[in-house]
A and B are shown apart, each in its own frame.
Chain A
Amino acid sequence: MNAENLIALLIAAPLLGAAVLLVGGRRLDAAGHWIGTILSTTSFVFGVILFADLLGRNADDRTLMQHLYTWVPVAGFQADVTFRLDQLSMTFVLLITGVGSLIHLYSVGYMEHDERRRRFFGYLNLFLAAMLLLVLADNYLLLYVGWEGVGLASYLLIGFWQHKPSAATAAKKAFLVNRVGDMGLSIAIMLMFTTFGTFAFGPVLSHVTDASEGRLTAIGLLLLLAACGKSAQVPLQSWLGDAMEGPTPVSALIHAATMVTAGVYLIVRSGAIFNAAPDAQLVVTVVGAVTLLFGAIVGCAKDDIKKALAGSTMSQIGYMVLAAGLGPIGYVFAIMHLVTHGFFKAGLFLGAGSVMHGMNDEVDMRKFGGLRKYMPVTFITFGLGYLAIIGFPGLSGFFSKDKIIEAAFAKGGTEGWILGTCALVGAAITAFYMTRVMLMTFFGEKRWQPDEHGHEPHPHESPKVMTIPMIVLAIGSVFAGGFFSIGDRFLHWLEPITGHSEGDSPISAGVVTGATMVCLVIGVGIAYLQYGRRPVPAVAPRGSLLTRAARRDLLQDDFNHVVLVRGGEHLTRSLVYVDHTLVDGVVNGTAAGFGGLSGRLRKLQNGYARSYAVSMFGGAALLVAATLLMRAV
């Protein structure tokens, strides 16, 4: 059997799981979570087999294609269901199914007491299938199916506890904000179609140079809009914080490790387009730089552990987007950071979930404190993830983030200096807010109180089914970066697809690393002085203007509320009024002018069928008369 025939099975396994679990009904309640976990793992196993197959081939011969069928055949327009497995999609497949399977396992424990656990696993499997479709599609329209498919899974999972109005609202918001981005993808595909007559990767990306730069810039910016929605980049970032309403495994898998990185995938996959559209690239780097600072600042101010991590996710994806905007200097490192981030951020979220599991679902870090004594495994795995994300030397984040900062400087010119500085400042803020999370949660005095029913939380370590995935992810957080960097393994693996160039850095790599370390020390130091040396107040202090703004996501929600929500409500309400009075009135009135119809409309009773029949008869008589007349002439 040829390896390429396995590609569809990667998607089929979790899709089958979703179908069985969602249609199967209550009789599957007892085993549903294991069915979901096994099918997710099955997909991972297929992924490993395919990976081994790719490794056995030459570096320039690692693209497998599987054509299933013609999906939409219309004159001049053809969309196929064809899958492409190359180094880039392979990387994602392993990340998605690997981290995905671990999180399935974790959820077995985390969702144990939820009566709708089977459905939860159905949605998780649905997510995996859609995400795999997204990265395996060989054309933009099929990618779009996966793109909105993960949006649907995200919607269902954020709103999983939909009896909570806040969860239902957050789910809807996520879908809507993403739809704005999807509009960008939609129009980008149309523009590709009018430009190239197709939207399949192969022909589009190989003919980029034949198209005008204006068109390519437009396509690039539209793709960026799509990426901003999915990857929570400014200005479409507002949904991610609210998405933390979903169960924590969802936050780990979808809103940290995989789905939110789809925007980075889209940009890197479309690299040929961006390479030929420098203006679009510049905007990509700006969006990345702004978001990495934006997310980091928000992350500093949040007391909700998951929202602090969400701010961090936004910021780290900002790094990836920045790297992707740098072109061939940055593509490989964008993806490398994406993978290492997948490990440590998923680990951090699972750790946060473990803390919540032991603390009666409390999320306010001001009510934690000193938890390291009660949950040693969670503490150690979370701690390793923490060291990885701040870029502690030798751990995963150190390698991947450092490379991005170097690449930013290597862009050269004023831009390079500005972007590189933003990335450095971001590193300092990252060290600050993550140290803050660490100190507030695991160090200091215990700050929890009995709830209104007098129940005091009894923090305890989570069961093995939850800690094992955390341990595996912690191992990845420690070693992945180093493993990828030894002998530039990751670079050589991905280079044939993304291309690579060294750029022209005004400062040496050693200086960049040194500066990064200084930033790290500053960030950790300030956080220690503020949260380590002094006791953490149980109630948040008022804070500076910036802190207060950051707590409210830098006022973007307020803006959205006033301009879009309120404005929209006024618009629709006035339109309802206009439709009822004006449009209806004018049309009825015009009709009245012709035939006295409004009088009839008011009478409303009886005789209408008769009058109708009379008009019909009248019409027919008219017709006969006209015909006779014509024949006479």
Chain B
Amino acid sequence: MSFPLLTATAVLPAVGAVATAAVPAARRTAAKWLALLVSLATLVLAIVVMVRFDPGGARYQLTESHAWISDFGVRYELGVDGIAVALLALTALLMPFIILAGWNDADPLETGSKRWRPTQGFFALILAVEAMVIISFEATDVFLFYIFFEAMLIPMYFLIGGFGDRAHAQGEEAASTQRSYAAVKFLLYNLVGGLIMLAAVIGLYTVSGNFSLAEIAQARANGTLHMATSTERWLFLGFFFAFAVKAPLWPLHTWLPNAMQESTAPVAVLITAVVDKVGTFAMLRFCLQLFPEASKWATPTILVLALISIIYGALLAVGQRDIKRLVAYASISHFGFIILGIFAMTSQGQSGATLYMVNHGISTAALMLVAGFLISRRGSRLIADYGGVQKVAPVLAGTFLIGGLATLSLPGLAPFVSEFLVLVGTFTRYPAIGIIATFGIVLAALYTLVLYQRTMTGPVKPAVAAMPDLKARELLVVTPLIVLLIFLGVYPKPVTDIVNPAVKQTMSDVHKTDPKPAVEAAK
């Protein structure tokens, strides 16, 4: 038996989480280093997966399959296609930066505070989330996926509710209440989604007698498994609802701004750049593959909801006074683009959507982590409390601007490629929707540049006059992210090459081909 590489990518952070939690209370720094090293080792494994993955090969590769609960047909089945590899790589890549950015976020508060802030717990929880997210990307057994899709809520709940920003305008008591509210809201929204999905999972099993993604899809494709139209639609809706909450899609989005504003910046990145991606990933992998007809049936509605997300999220971002809430609403807008790309059902749209997931992860990480550095210096999330930072901390302001430019999809940076692909992929099938979605690029410029102007330019506010510029650790976080944004903006081929064959598969799952141009001008 060959080495279970995929299992290792998940087990390593899981074991790391336990080990980090077990570090004695006094050895805080050791726990941080351990977590960082584990995340780096996981990244190495993810790179090995990427290298071993053959884009021209079978659909699912590096597969592992073991009987688990044989009575119910549940198997421990792992396998990755190009889409999963890309997201696995993104997750493993972002983790070291998240850990490094949050290096001091969970240090004990000054004496006298009753807050529980165990450093070890913070990093252990982050690694636990990583393990669960990774296995969600790898699972090809529906039940196995469901378990980890749901289980990751638990460490996330504690990360949101247990660790907030250090300073808070209304005092620690109020902060704690708001954190709890955000954490509970996050939990309940996702829990409801999960329970509805559970019903659909059971339903799927009753219909197919099987949990294996590949087998069900195969049986559906060659007609041995017939599903009544209404059954398929109900099952689809059950799955889709859970993923739409997680993604999040309008109008199920309101948990995200609360969760992102109350958590520390690294955890906010963990939510929007990593955990939420499981939702959009699962739409591609499960909804389209298991329920192709129902997916097509629901497409018009979903496209409209995605369009609303894009415009609505962007308009809401314009109206925010809190930096983190602004980034949260911007993310809602971006998730709208991703979902639009998936359900436009064109090669450009789906490749674009997958690339979008990767690029959005990197760009949001860059913007949000720098915002976190900014907030930690001033102790406020309110935009109005800043002004003129550019003068005193030019490097911080410059990196913030680059993060912002990535968010508004400036050509030359990675998100432009994916956003354009999504737009063009949508436009070829649904011109009106493509055009309306394009308004999002104007609104994105508006919320990003207004944020930059209000915080970074103008006269220096007294409260920021002594603000130090980025420190070495912070630069170590931001620089690689910016380099990646530029690299993938100029040369996205390494990612698209991995993703394209998987998209081709998905397109054939839903029996769709790209619309033909009116004139054959290309050779």
Contacts and interface: CB of A to CB of B under 8 A. Distances in A.
A141 interface: yes
A186 B195 CA distance: 42
B192 A71 contact: no
B427 interface: yes
Given A72-B496, A76-B347, A149-B411, A168 B453 contact: yes
Contacts of A605: 180
Interface in B474-500: 490-493, 496-497, 500
Given A163-B458, A587-B251, A176 B445 contact: yes
Interface in A444-491: none
> Which of B184, B320, B434 has the most chain A CB atoms inside 10 A of its CB?
B184
B519 A196 contact: yes
A59 to B, nearest CB: 26
A175 B251 contact: no
Interface in B438-463: 438-439, 441-442, 445-446, 449-450, 453, 456-460
A632 interface: no
A627 interface: yes
Interface in B411-447: 411-412, 416-417, 420-421, 423-424, 427-428, 431, 434-435, 438-439, 441-442, 445-446
B175 interface: no
B72 interface: yes
A195 B205 contact: no
A76 B496 CA distance: 13
Contacts of B316: 572, 575-576, 579
A571 B185 CA distance: 27
A77 B316 CA distance: 33
Interface in A170-185: 172, 175-176, 179-180, 182-183
B319 A575 contact: yes
Contacts of A537: none
Interface string A124-157: 0000000000000000010011011100100100
Contact of B457 (A168, A193, A215, A609): A168
A593 to B, nearest CB: 11
B40 interface: no
Interface size class of B (residues with CB under 8 A): 35 or more
Interface in A547-576: 568, 571-573, 575-576
B185 A601 contact: yes
Contacts of A31: none
Interface size for chain A: under 10, 10 to 19, 20 to 34, or 35 or more residues?
A: 35 or more
A591 interface: yes
A76 B500 CA distance: 11
B442 to A, nearest CB: 5
Nearest to A155: B449
B195 A165 contact: no
B177 interface: yes
Contact of B319 (A141, A176, A573): A573
B348 interface: yes
B191 A612 contact: yes
A579 B352 CA distance: 29
Nearest to A116: B394
Interface string A608-622: 110010011001001
A172 B410 contact: no
B450 A601 contact: no
B519 A211 contact: yes
Interface stretch (A48-56, A103-111, A197-205, A425-433): A197-205
**Most A Cβ at <10 Å: residue of B205, B318, B515:** B318
A612 B496 CA distance: 39
A74 B206 contact: no
B174 interface: no
B351 interface: yes
B435 A187 contact: yes
A209 B318 CA distance: 44
Contacts of B445: 175-176, 179
B503 interface: yes
B410 A203 contact: no
Contacts of B158: 609
Contact of B450 (A172, A182, A200): A172
Interface stretch (B149-157, B164-172, B217-225): B149-157
A77 B441 contact: no
A189 interface: yes
B215 interface: no
A572 B150 contact: no
Given A180-B442, A623-B202, A195 B347 contact: no
A69 B503 contact: no
A180 to B, nearest CB: 6
B376 to A, nearest CB: 23
Nearest to A585: B254
Contact of B521 (A191, A204, A571): A204
B228 to A, nearest CB: 17
A162 B491 CA distance: 33
B336 to A, nearest CB: 14
Given A74-B421, A196-B521, A597-B188, A616 B150 contact: yes
Contacts of B517: 193-198
B296 interface: no
Given A176-B442, A630-B205, 6 more contacts: A74-B500, A203-B522, A211-B519, A572-B316, A623-B72, A627-B205
Chain A to chain B: the 9 pairs with minimum beta-carbon distance, closest first: A572-B319, A197-B517, A75-B347, A168-B457, A196-B521, A162-B457, A207-B521, A145-B411, A198-B522
